Amino acid sequence: MTHVPTSAPAVSVHPSRGALGAAAAALAGHHLRAALQEQERATVMLAAAPSQSATLDALAHKPEIDWSRVDCFHMDDYLGLAADAPQGFGVWLQQGFIDRVPGVTFHRMPVDGDPEQAAQAYARVMPEGPFDLVLLGLGVNGHLAFNDPPADFDDPADTRVVTLDEVSRRQQVDEGHFPTVDDVPQRAITVTIPRLLRARHLIASVPGEAKRAAVQATLSAPIGPDHPGTALRTHPAVALFLDTESAPR
C-alpha cells in the first residue's frame, strides 16, 4: 500500500533532556486534561526506555491530572525474562512511573505462558477505539515499539510476537540494560504500527546523539518499511521533541 503523508510532525529542539522532557510532558498533560474534560476516562500508550525518563518524570509531577481516570498500557516487552527482571518494560514502567502517580490503572502486558496467546490477550485488553495519547520513542534503527525494519505498516493485528534484530539488541547493551548481546532476549511482544497510529495524539521524545540518524530518516526518508519511524508522517497529530544531540545538523 502507498502511504501518503497527511502532515509533517511538529518538531521542536530543546537544549537538554530535562528541557525536552518538560516540554513533552506539558503537551501530554494538555492532551490528557482535554480528553478527561470530554469523557470519563483517558487511555495512554507508553514506551519504556531511557529516552522517556525525562518526559515521564515531568508528567508524574502534574497533580492537575486526575490519574484515577487514566488507563495506561505499554507497547512492548521481552519474552523469556523473569517476571521481576529490571530490564522488563512492565517492571521499568511500574517502578519509574506508575508507582509515582497514585490511582492510575496500569494494564501490564503478559509475557508468560504461550507467547501467541499472551499477545492476543493483550490485544483484547486494549480499547476498541483510538488511544487518546501515545508516548513513544524511536530506536537507533528507527523502530517504533519493537517493529524493526522492515516494518509492516499494514499489519492487521494489534499485537505481534517478533524476533528482534541485531541492532535493537545491541542498543539494549549500549544503553546499559544487558552486559552482552547474548543476554538480550531474542523475542518480544509488540504493539503493531497500525495500532500505535490509531491514536488521537502521538508525542515522540527522542534525545541523544545515537538517535540522530534515525531522526533524519524519520523526517526525510521515503515513507516505508525500511524506516519504521516514517510512519509518523502519515498521522496528522504527531509532536517530535528532540534535544541538540538528536536534532539533524
Summarised one tens digit per residue, pLDDT across range 17-37 is: 999 999 999 999 999 999 999
Distance CA 59, CA 53 (A): 10
2 belongs to a structural domain: no
For residue 17, give the CATH number of its domain: 3.40.50.1360
pLDDT band of residue 5 (cuts 50, 70, 90) is: low
The tally of domains found in the chain comes to 1
Model confidence at 142: pLDDT above 60: yes
Distance CA 222, CA 225 (A): 9
pLDDT band of residue 8 (cuts 50, 70, 90) is: confident
pLDDT band of residue 6 (cuts 50, 70, 90) is: low
Q: Could you tell me which of 134, 138, 145, 142 has the C-alpha nearest to residue 27?
A: 134
pTM, rounded to two decimals: 0.95
Report the percentage of the chain scoring pLDDT > 90. 94
4 belongs to a structural domain: no
Q: What is the pLDDT of residue 96?
A: 95
CB of 67 within 8 A of CB of 101? yes
Q: What is the pLDDT of residue 83?
A: 87
5 belongs to a structural domain: no
In terms of Cβ atoms closer than 10 Å to its own Cβ (0-12, 13-18, 19+), residue 222 is exposed
Q: Could you tell me which of 27, 114, 126 has the C-alpha nearest to residue 75?
A: 126
21 belongs to a structural domain: yes
Average pLDDT of the chain, as a whole number: 95
Residues 189-243 have pLDDT tens digits of: 999 999 999 999 999 999 999 999 999 999 999 999 999 999 999 999 999 999 9
Residues 68-117 have pLDDT tens digits of: 999 999 999 999 999 899 999 999 999 999 999 999 999 999 999 999 99
Three cell numbers, residue 103: 490511582
Q: What is the pLDDT of residue 1?
A: 41
6 belongs to a structural domain: no
203 belongs to a structural domain: yes
Residues 57-70 have pLDDT tens digits of: 999 999 899 999 99
Model confidence at 135: pLDDT above 70: yes
Q: Which domain holds residue 53?
A: 11-243
